[in-house]
Chains A and B, each alone.
Chain A
C-alpha cells in the first residue's frame, strides 16, 4: 500500500514537471544524456535538481566564425532593405521612396552589438521506474536571460546626398522609425525569465551482462514521449529574444542509446536524440524582401511554421566509481536544428521571400561536457530509503553555426529512492 502511494506521488510530480528545448541557444536540457545521473533498476524513483550559471556567451555566424551575439545572422543590419517590399502607397513605401537611396554596401547599414547572457537556469527531473526495465520521467527547467549593452553603430558615410538623406530620414532616428513602422519592434536590450517546455517521457532500458574479459555490460535504452508547449515563446518585438522551448509547438522526442561497461570502472556510450516539432501558427515577423536582414523586419503577419528536425548526437567516456563513489565523465555533443519553413496566411507578402530569412536556416552546435559525480551508494546500505548523488558539470561550446552558446558551470543533486 505504501509502495502504491509512492508510485502515485511520483506520477503526480512527473505530470507537473516541464522541460525546455531551446532553438538558438544551448539552453540546459535536464534529459541531456550527458547530464543524466546514473540509474539502475534498484532505484524506484529519482528526483534531480539542477542549477547552472552561464559564463558569458560564444556566438557563431553562418561561416562558423566567432562573432558578437547580434552578428550570428548578419554582421550589419540594413535599414534601407528594411523598407523594401511594402506597398508603394503605404507609409513605409512612401518613406522608402522619399529616401531615394540605393544600398551601396554601407549606406543604411547598422552594426549592432550586445551581450546575450544566460544568467542562470534551474531544472527539476523526476523519474519513476516500474516493471524492472521501464520508467517514466518528466523534466522542467527555468531560465533567466539578458541581452545588455546593446548599441547600434551607423555605417552610413557622409559622402553623397543619398548618404545624408538616409541619415536624416532614417538612421539618425532608427529606433523611433522602427518602433513606429514595425508595430512595436524594439532594438534595445531586454531581461527575460520563465519556464521552458514540459517534457514527459517513457523509457526502457536493459542491462545485458557480458561474461567477457573486457566487456562486462551492455545497456540498451530508448525513450520517447511528448513535449508540451508550456515554455515562454519567442518575443517577436525584441532582438534575439529566443523561445524557452519550442516556441509554443508540441513535439515528439525519440531517443536511443547504448552504454558499454568496460572492465570494472570504465564506460563509454553513444546516444541519438531526434525531436519532431509539430508546426504551429502565430504572428511572426517576416522578411518582405530578400535583401532584408533578420533583426530589422517591420512586417508582422500570421504564419505557419514548419520546424526543422532536431538532431542530437552524444558520445561519452566515463571513469565510473574510480575512487569509492567518485566518477568522471568527458563527453562531446553535436546538435543540429534543421531548416524551418514559413507559410504565410496573407497574400500581401511572399512566402518565398519570407523563407529567405537566415534565422530559418539550419543551425549547429558543438560542445564538450565535463562532469564529476559522487554517489553515496557506496557508503550506504541498500535498504536506505534515499541515496544522494552529487554532480558538478561544465559545458564548453567550441563551434557552431548561426547560434549563441553559453559556457556554463552547474551542479546537480539527485535523490534516489
Chain B
C-alpha cells in the first residue's frame, strides 16, 4: 500500500564512479528512496535525447543529447523500484581484464537512434527490455546491451586499478553491422525499431542517401541455438544435456536466411561461418509507398513501430512525389513470415488510395508525412491504427486475421463494416474486422468523427510523442507557452457494436507545476496505468528534456497554501471532512471564463478556481499554492478577490451537511446552487441576481458581486444538481424536480415540476434515487431498483414524463453511479453529435458486490427510441450483452479515463481505492467471465474511511479523491 506523498526532490548530484559529475541524475537521498512514497525527481546535467520506458514501466532507458563528453552516461537505465541509476556505456565492457581488448567503442559516443527490445521472448530473460542503439561514431552498426549489472571486480583488477572492493557497473553488449540491399555494409542507419525478437533498421546504401536505390530495411534477430553436448568437458558432473546459446545475427531479409540456418547444433565455442545478408529494398521507387511509375522525389523514415497486438512493424514515412499520376502512402506494414522472410505490405491497395486521405495522398506534387503510427486494442477487443499526421491524430480500423496466412492482416479495414466473430476451439471467441478496404469509400476519411482522435488537431504546439493505453490516446505537446504544453488525452467512444464512433475532445491528463508556480513544460511521458501514475520528462531552461519526475498521490503538502492543506483546515476530519465535490468545466452556462471546483461539507461551501481564460484558451491555476483564500462568514460572499472562496454560516448552518453543488445560468446571471440533507440554497444578491453569465466570474472571482446564500423550497436529502438547456434538475433521495430557470428563484421553485418519484420505480418498498444524467430529451436515473430512462417517445422536459427500466444483465439492483463520457466533456452533451457512453455502476453494500456496465448512447435527433440507449456487447459471447466489470467487492465510486480505472468501496479496515487497467479487465474476462477485477489497491490516507468523490479535474487533468480525510490529489 502506498502512502501517497509527493515531493519532487532535488537531492544533490549523483557522481558517476569516475568521480566527475557528468550525464548523471540528481542523487537519490537514501532515506527518501527507501520511503514508501518513492517520491523523486531526477534532474540531468545534460539534455535527454531518448526516453524509452519499458512496457511494464519498471525501467527507463535514457540517452544523452550530447555529441561528446557524456562518457559512460551516453546511455543509462533507471530502475523504478529502487531508483538506481546505472550507466550503460562504461569505458570497458565486462571486466577490464585486458583493458585494450575490452575497450568499449560506445563509450562517450553520441547515441543517435535508440529503441527497446522487449516482449515474450525466452532469450530476453527479464522484462527489463534490451536497449538497442546506433552511435554517431559507427552509424552503420547496431549495438545491443545484453546485460548490465553491478559486481565487485576480481582481486587482480582491484589491485591493478587500486580500487576498493565495491561493485562497479558491468555491461555486456553486442554489435552488428547492417547491410544494404546488395549485402554491403550500409552507410548509415536512419531509423530503428524492435520487436521481442527482431530489429528492423532502415539503412542507406554506401555513398548514397536513404531513398536511393540500395536503400532498404535490414533485419537482425536475437535467438537461440542448441549447443551440442558432445563438446562438453568429459569430467564435468552436469547431466549430459544440450544447452542453448544466444545468437544475435543479421538476416538476409529477402530469403530469411542467416548464418545459423540449417545448423541444428553447434559446438560451444564455435561460430558459424559468415554469410552475406541483405536488406529488403525500400526506396523512392518502392511500390508500397509510391503509386505510379515515377519514383518519389523524397522518402524518409520517421518511425518504426512494432505492434505487439498485430505482430507486425508499422513504418511511418515522409513521401514526396512530383508526377501527376503518382500517389503516396505514409505508412507501410512489414511482417516477418514464418520462413524468416520479411515482406512489405501496403496498408491500403492502390485502388483505395485517395487524395488527402489519412495515410495516402494523390495528385501532382502530392506528399504525405506520417510522424508516428501506433496500434490500439480497444476494450471491445477490436484493433485500430493510431496515426500522427502533423498535429492531428487519426484512428483507422485494422483487419485482424491469421497473421501467418492472410496478407490482409494488419491492413486498414473497411470503415463501414461491422465486426465479425472468429470461432476458436480453445480460446474464447473474439471479434475482429475481417475485410480490408478495397475502395476509396471504404477507407475512413480524416473528416469522419470516428477517425478524429481528440476531435480537433492540436494547434497550440508540437506533438512530441504519442502513446496508447487502453481506449485512450495520449499525446505529449511541446509549446512555447508552458501553459499550453503538457500531456493531453482523448478517449474512444463506442457504439453498441463496440466500434469506435467518436472521440472525446483533447483533455489535459496531468499538470505539474514548477517551484515558481508555473506549469511544468512536459516534453515526454509514460503512463503506468496499473497505478495511474505518469512519469514525465520536463524541460530545462533551454527547453530541452532534462528532468524526470513522476506523479504521486499526495496527501500532505509543505506549503500551507496548497489546496490540500487548505481543505484539511476548512474541512477537518472531526466534521467528516469533505462531504461532496464537483468539478465544473469551463464553458458551462454561467461559467464562460473559468473552471471551478466546489467542495462542500458541514455548513460549509468552498469554491476553487481551477483555470482561467487567457488569449489562447484556459490556463490552469496552481493549486499547490493558492495565493489568497477568502473566508466569508454569515453565508455570504463578500467579494474579496481570491482564487479560493470559503463560505460558512448564515443559511448554511440551517442546511447542515451540504453534499451537492452546481453552477447554473438563469436569465443573464450565473449562480451557485447547493443542496444537502436539510435544504437547497442559491447564492444570490439582495436583488436576487447573480454574476454576469456572459462575462463569468473573472480572475479570483473579481466579477462576482456580494452575494448571500438563500434557501428555497423544502427540499431534503438533495443528492445531485444538474442543469441542462435552461433547466435545473434537483435529485433527492425520493424524487426528481425540474425547475425552469428564469432568474426569479421564488417563482421558479414554486413552479417546479416533479419529474419522477421513488414510488414510480420502487412502488411502496423502501428505495432511493442515486444518480441522474440529463441530456436534452434523455435522462437516465440510477435507482435502488435498477437503471431507468425516459421512455420511448417521451421527453424529460415535457410536463408528463414516462419512464422505463433499462435491463442490465448480470447487474445488481441498485445502480448508484452514472458516469457520462461525451465528446465535449459536458455530461449534458450525451445525446449530441456522435452521442456518448455511460458507465453504470451497480452495487449492493449488503453483500459486498458491484458490477459495471457500459452503455452506448446514440444521438437523439428526433425522439427517444429503443436504440438510444444500448448495452455494449460481451467480448467473447456472441450476440450477448453482459457486465463489463465484476468487482471483487462492493464499490461505491468508479472513475475511468479509458486507460486507468479507479474504483473504491468501503472495507472493514477503511476504504481502499483500487486501480485497474483496461488490460486487467480484459484479461480477467478472458479466463473466467465472472472473475473479479480487483486491481492494485491503495489505502486512503490519514485514516480515512469514507470517500465521497473520485474525479479528474477538467482544468488540470489531475485525479482527486475527497472524503473524511480531506483531499488527496495526484501531483
Interface residues of A (CB under 8 A from B): 83-89, 91-98, 100, 102-105, 157-165, 169, 289-291
Contact = CB atoms under 8 A, between A and B. Distances in A.
A165 B657 CA distance: 11
A303 B813 CA distance: 30
Given A88-B813, A102-B945, A94 B766 contact: yes
B846 A85 contact: yes
B61 interface: no
Contacts of B575: 159
Nearest to A107: B946
Contact of A98 (B656, B784, B906): B784
A93 B844 contact: yes
A97 B576 contact: no
Given A84-B847, A89-B813, A103-B906, A159 B766 contact: no
A225 B911 CA distance: 54
Interface string B625-659: 00000000000000000000000000000001101
Contacts of B656: 158, 164
Interface residues of B, number: 34
B768 A88 contact: no
B576 A98 contact: no
Given A84-B847, A102-B911, A289-B846, 18 more contacts: A85-B847, A91-B766, A94-B762, A96-B845, A97-B767, A97-B814, A97-B844, A97-B845, A100-B770, A102-B892, A102-B946, A105-B945, A160-B657, A162-B946, A163-B657, A164-B656, A164-B657, A164-B677
Q: Which among B845, B847, B945, B946 has the greatest number of chain A C-beta atoms within 10 A?
A: B845
Nearest to A84: B846
B602 A159 contact: yes
Nearest to B678: A164
A291 B770 CA distance: 25
Question: Main SS of the interface on chain A?
Answer: loop
A301 to B, nearest CB: 17
Interface string B927-971: 000000000000000000110000000000000000010000000
B964 A94 contact: no
B38 interface: no
B677 A161 contact: yes
Contacts of B964: 104
A160 B576 CA distance: 7
Given A97-B846, A104-B964, A169 B766 contact: yes
Contact of A95 (B766, B847, B911): B766
A160 B946 CA distance: 11
A91 B946 contact: no
Interface in B758-800: 762, 765-768, 770, 784
A107 to B, nearest CB: 9
Contacts of B906: 102-103
A102 B845 contact: yes
Contacts of A158: 656
Interface string B362-393: 00000000000000000000000000000000
A313 to B, nearest CB: 37
Contacts of B846: 83-86, 88, 92-93, 96-97, 289
Interface in B198-251: none
A286 to B, nearest CB: 15
Specify which of A87, A93, A165 lies most central, judged by the most chain B CB atoms within 10 Å of its CB. Answer: A93
A100 B948 CA distance: 12
Contact of B576 (A93, A159, A290): A159
B274 interface: no
A103 B945 CA distance: 9
Contacts of A162: 946
A291 B733 CA distance: 26
Contacts of B816: 100
A385 B816 CA distance: 83
Nearest to A96: B846
20 contacts: A83-B846, A84-B845, A84-B847, A86-B847, A93-B846, A95-B766, A96-B844, A96-B845, A97-B767, A97-B784, A97-B814, A97-B844, A98-B733, A102-B946, A104-B576, A160-B579, A161-B677, A164-B717, A169-B766, A291-B908
Given A97-B767, A98-B767, A88 B945 contact: no
Nearest to B911: A102
Contacts of B717: 161, 164-165
A118 to B, nearest CB: 37
Contacts of B676: 161
* From A83, A102, A161, residue with most partner B Cβ within 10 Å: A161
B677 A165 contact: yes
Contacts of B945: 102, 104-105
Nearest to B849: A88
A85 B847 CA distance: 5
Nearest to B846: A96
B315 interface: no
Contacts of A96: 844-846
A291 B847 CA distance: 11
Given A84-B846, A88-B847, A160-B602, A97 B657 contact: no
B812 interface: yes
